[in-house]
Amino acid sequence: MPDRYWGKFEGVVVDNDDPSGLCRLDVHVPSVLSQSTGWCRPSLPYAGNGSGFALVPPVGATVWVEWPGGDLGKPPVWSGAAWTSGNGIDGAGPGKILLVSPKGHRVEISDDDQSITLKAAGGASLTINADGIVLDNGQGATVELTGATVALNGESFKVG
């Protein structure tokens, strides 16, 4: 075994249910350890006392693991995640910021469409764009706010 393990090592999440609520992961990194790492602390873009950015990869996800100073005796850090072939997010690309939960709930910020959309996996959605706001229950009922007009279910009822 080398004295130091520098850089990022690919691993697979084996447990993400951190009992301390700190977004730690237990990861199997086969190129370094025969067993899992134990709890890896996250390296996050923002974390503070009771606030921060908390996204926890699901069990089975591919993540990158590092050891501070390359020292296996120090608690490891997971520093990011990666998709494997065929496991990316539908619609991802330049001009969009997407956040999609494992169950399919979605937040989409699109510079291309100049819109923000919140969509539940069941189909209900809220879209905000330069034209106005559309609330859709995913079952045929809509509320549209455009200029000074409020439309319920398209043309069936209009105010304004």
DSSP string, 102-150: TT--EEEEETTTTEEEEE-TTS-EEEEETTEEEEE-SSS-EEEEETTEE
Domain ranges of the chain: 9-82, 96-159
* pTM of the entire predicted model: 0.78
- Kindly indicate the confidence band of residue 90, based on its pLDDT and cuts at 50, 70 and 90: confident
pLDDT in tens, 13-47: 999 999 999 999 999 999 999 999 999 999 999 88
For every residue of 31-92, which 3-state class applies, written as one string? CCCCCEEEEEEECCCCEECCEECCCCCCCCCEEEEECHHHCCCCCCEEEEEECCCCCCCCCC
Q: Indicate the SS3 state at residue 93.
A: coil
Tell me the fold of 9-82. OB fold (Dihydrolipoamide Acetyltransferase, E2P) (2.40.50)
The mean pLDDT value for 96-118 works out to: 94
pLDDT of amino acid 88: 85
pLDDT in tens, 45-65: 988 898 888 899 999 999 999
**Ramachandran category for residue 142: left, alpha or beta (phi over 0 → left; psi -120 to 50 → alpha):** beta
pLDDT in tens, 120-135: 999 999 999 999 999 9
Strands 77-82 and 96-100: unpaired
Query: CATH number of 96-159: 3.30.465.10, 2.20.220.20, 3.40.50.10160, 3.40.190.10?
Result: 2.20.220.20
pLDDT of amino acid 134: 97
